[in-house]
Structure 1
């Protein structure tokens, strides 16, 4: 078996792995990135590129109180400096966008340009750093094999090329970074952590995120974070199967928060089961616990025109979401009256009588404007349709939706330096974790995606530089745009 010596082995070439490798190579570490897919980028390649984070620590704590406060605070401290770094490095970034995920601000970025930047910094570094695609990690090598928490000294990797036998190599590394993208694609792991039926939830991510990092860390004594049964995803038009959808259609088939919070959402029994105003990344998880995991959005033509046919933010693209769902054979119905719409819901297997009662009661509560009444158990939780449905002019629309999972919130337990921790919170020497492989930030509520992945990759690179005695990665102190230096406050 060929033996390759490097300073750092980064397992995963997605948002977090590429960020880590980019800063580590620039600092002077000989870095090897291995990516099991045929291209770098991971699930970020299917993203609309909203680089977002909660606006303040207080808002984040209120939204995700079960997340780790130390990790959350450290993430927010680095968020805006990272935005500055991308601007100063020439990555195209749109102006600040408010109201992301209810509590956040965001800067739409050009994902492909960011990955090109990282690749250039890695491959042009003076350390002979490189990226291998179609290559996966098989096992971690410990100083004392089989001893939980023993230092990591490298890994066995497997390189695959079409038409050729697989080639195994031993990588001797001073530090290994796990950044493989979560376990949402593994039926076994999602069944174990999400519960019965978890393996039937639509997987809305790259096909390679099957828990490689989690399994490798557990084998060497790694502990898990809180929130192992929670995840990020969107309500998706239904019925659809993961294998039947091109990943490029994930965005137009998703029913984003701005839409769903203006709709009435009922289950097969015709009842509401969640507060639509929470945003679909949360009610998406509520729907997964309903009978048969089927939901039905009910909305007016006014809502369709305002929220279903235009881009919700830069990079998302203008698309008629109802038409896109129809093209994929999903259940989408339109009627001139609510009575006609109830007939359509009945054909789909919804309790027609109860659905009619739910609409009537909901309209009555919205007219009264009484939030307490809106929380009455008979209709579920509070809602946010801008006007009673019966006062809106037809036609009226209904769409069947299902839950989906983009990435898991739970993962390997880490500290704010990126060290992998055992169940009793001891560091595992030589092992760092970044991106979705790391848990603790989110728990039911969503703390961040692209930005969180980038920042945790930066944390790993900082620790690499510290342990190897190399210069620390430095982020620019000011935002440079159009030849003018702007302080960080200008981004706010």
Structure 2
């Protein structure tokens, strides 16, 4: 078995891993990065925005149960993260609003990730199609790992620091049902397929702390019955407009404040009967949100037309009365849906808030026609993961750092708890943090 010694071993070459690799290489560290896939980038290839809450108050308001130290680190270091991207010659657009509360920047993730890859390969090593079989542990300290490539070649990489950045476990149905929801295996995977819990399992075998229970997941609503055909569907088929529409479960009842965010509604729908619901919008919502851009600069896609073309359960009602004629095989009672929309409109027109409330878009849906679509949640990554501190050090069950082991990106848990304010920003910030922590350790030894 070939053996080598490096300052930093990185397992996973997505946003967090490549960010850490480039930063560490720039800091003069020796770096080896492994990637189980044939290409680098992971799910970051399908993103285009880095954003988060603009202040501690906003972060606490929208993510009250997240780890306080991690939340503050993300908010405080986000500006430095975007400055780092710019320092590599990658264009970062001016700040803009994302969701109802966030601020962030559009940038070319492909350009950024390729730039990080080239920096890494200029002074370090990138091993593609390479799986990590086990961590090396001596006296309770992680000292590297044994890795194996698809051609059967094994090597032992000894490292002062080892970073887990494999992208989460959303690609593993068993881990999803164990740590997200008993029916989480039903969800479509809105992510690269290689994130199957490699980092989570390695950390667990090293007695790392994980959590939290019932933390939820990041994802979006998509049309029911339509599997993703390619990564472009991850955005094109995400029904962001649900924030302005009405969502009913199989009991013909609203069960969530839809206006708080499609990503939160997706979590709520998973817990409803059969994990599916009926999304209803009027002509105003169609005009302003279904065929409009979710964020400034994004390409607008007629998601209703796309779902209809792909064979989804969709329908157009010329007026409220036609909502009573929903197909019986869908499982909803059309009369009850019609009456519920009518009651909500009467309530909203009178300036009253219904139950559940509609805090951010209390306008009635009174402009026909009505656009009807059945929807289900899809998962991008889980919020349950490996616990870290604000220096990206993996924690033991007693809350103390597990020597030699770091984690960043979607492998981590604790930052989000049934709330979300930017996964790409987290991968960027804690990828940089992990590299700086590894550099400090290399200098001290």
Pick the TM interval, shorter chain. over 0.9
1:429 to 391, 403, 412: 403
- Is it true that 1:231 corresponds to 2:217 in the alignment? yes
Distance in 2 (CA, whole Å) between partners of 1:190 and 1:357 is: 37
Tell me the equivalent position of 2:388: 414
Tell me if the contact between 1:294 and 1:402 (Cα under 8 Å) persists in the aligned partners.
yes
Distance in 2 (CA, whole Å) between partners of 1:14 and 1:423 is: 27
1:189 to 175, 195, 198: 175
Distance in 1 (CA, whole Å) between partners of 2:377 and 2:214 is: 17
- Is it true that 1:177 corresponds to 2:199 in the alignment? no
CA deviation map 1:108-162 (0-9, x unaligned): 111011112211221223xxx0211111211101114xxxxx10111111211xx
Distance in 2 (CA, whole Å) between partners of 1:313 and 1:107 is: 11
Shift of 1:318: 2.0
- Give me the CA root mean square deviation: 1.6
Distance in 1 (CA, whole Å) between partners of 2:361 and 2:320 is: 15
Distance 1:228 1:266, change over 3 A: closer
Shift of 1:203: 1.5
Tell me if the contact between 1:60 and 1:103 (Cα under 8 Å) persists in the aligned partners.
no
Tell me if the contact between 2:9 and 2:161 (Cα under 8 Å) persists in the aligned partners.
yes
Tell me the equivalent position of 1:489: none
Tell me the equivalent position of 2:364: 388
Shift of 1:316: 3.0
Distance in 2 (CA, whole Å) between partners of 1:82 and 1:317 is: 25
Tell me the equivalent position of 2:53: 54
CA deviation map 1:191-244 (0-9, x unaligned): 111232121122211101111111100101100132554110011111234xx5
Shift of 1:358: 1.1
Tell me if the contact between 2:179 and 2:214 (Cα under 8 Å) persists in the aligned partners.
yes
Distance in 1 (CA, whole Å) between partners of 2:158 and 2:397 is: 26
- Is it true that 1:464 corresponds to 2:419 in the alignment? no
Shift of 1:313: 2.3
Tell me how many residue pairs correspond in the alignment: 444
Tell me the equivalent position of 1:8: 8
Distance 1:20 1:395, change over 3 A: same
Tell me the equivalent position of 2:379: 405
Distance in 2 (CA, whole Å) between partners of 1:118 and 1:386 is: 45
After TM superposition, the score normalised by the length of structure 2 is 0.96
Distance 1:397 1:205, change over 3 A: same
Tell me the equivalent position of 1:351: 333
- Is it true that 1:198 corresponds to 2:172 in the alignment? no
CA deviation map 1:306-347 (0-9, x unaligned): 111232225531211112212322112112122223313545
Tell me if the contact between 2:53 and 2:59 (Cα under 8 Å) persists in the aligned partners.
yes
Distance in 2 (CA, whole Å) between partners of 1:42 and 1:168 is: 23
2:233 to 249, 253, 258: 249
Tell me the equivalent position of 2:17: 17
Secondary structure at the aligned position of 1:254 is classed as coil
Distance in 1 (CA, whole Å) between partners of 2:64 and 2:237 is: 30
Shift of 1:405: 0.9
Tell me the equivalent position of 1:110: 108
Distance in 1 (CA, whole Å) between partners of 2:110 and 2:358 is: 40
CA deviation map 1:22-79 (0-9, x unaligned): 11111111101111111111011112x1110101101111111110111111111110
Tell me if the contact between 1:227 and 1:440 (Cα under 8 Å) persists in the aligned partners.
no
Tell me if the contact between 2:51 and 2:421 (Cα under 8 Å) persists in the aligned partners.
no
Distance in 2 (CA, whole Å) between partners of 1:102 and 1:441 is: 20
1:222 to 199, 208, 216: 208
Tell me the equivalent position of 1:168: 154
Tell me if the contact between 1:272 and 1:381 (Cα under 8 Å) persists in the aligned partners.
no
After TM superposition, the score normalised by the length of structure 1 is 0.87
Distance in 2 (CA, whole Å) between partners of 1:332 and 1:167 is: 51
